[in-house]
A = this chain, B = another copy of it.
């Protein structure tokens, strides 16, 4: 078990974007829309929880490097079926911020769940994944639309959850 040595890597600008979604009942979604959630403002709470989790990623994830962060943005938007979350994290350091972006999305999603669980216990967090990263030795990576289409096709044909192939595997 080790936190890999990144001492020889260059300090460069690195960005990561992750996304995820909390699926919920129409009733729960309506509560957010109408601002009638007993615990308060769901979207504001989710965004702050996400930004905080980006800062705490090395504390939540055992082998994640502690680094300084240059900026974090967390968008939460209501769409059909639930709340879509998207985090963008930037650093100028020796290692990437994929985990920070993913941790931000996960914490924001948990917060949405927490604030609405008295209305709908059946909510589900899905599709927490990296959509973009740039900077660093491995360069830029995108989860592309075509791949996403393939996933859907695959799913229709047979089994659930065939994963998006990363660019480097194709």
From B113, B125, B166, contact of A121 by CB (8 A):
B166
Q: Are A45 and B68 neighbours in the complex by a CB distance under 8 Å?
A: no
Q: How many residues does chain A have at the interface if contact means C-beta atoms less than 8 Å apart?
A: 104
The verdict on A129 contacting B133 (CB below 8 Å), with A114-B61, A155-B160 known, is: no
The reply to whether B114 and A63 contact each other, CB–CB distance below 8 Å, is yes
- Which chain B residues border A166 with CB–CB below 8 Å? 25, 120-122, 124, 160
Closest to A94 in B: B70
* Contact call B3/A72, Cβ cutoff below 8 A: yes
Chain B residue, CB-CB nearest to A73: B2
Could you say which of A21, A120, A160 has the most chain B C-beta atoms within 10 Å of its C-beta? A160
Q: Are A164 and B155 touching (Cβ within 8 A)?
A: yes
Is A86 close to B, CB under 8 A?
no
The one of B65, B148, B169 in contact with A68, judged by C-beta atoms closer than 8 angstroms, is B65
- By a CB distance below 8 angstroms, the chain B residues around A117 are 98-99
Q: Are B48 and A53 in contact (CB under 8 A)?
A: no
| A4–B163 touching, CB < 8 Å | no
- Report chain B residues within 8 Å CB of A167: 122, 160
Asked if B154 and A155 make an inter-chain contact with CB atoms under 8 angstroms apart, the answer reads no
Cβ contact within 8 Å between B25 and A165? yes
Say how far A156's CB is from chain B's closest CB, in angstroms.
Answer: 5
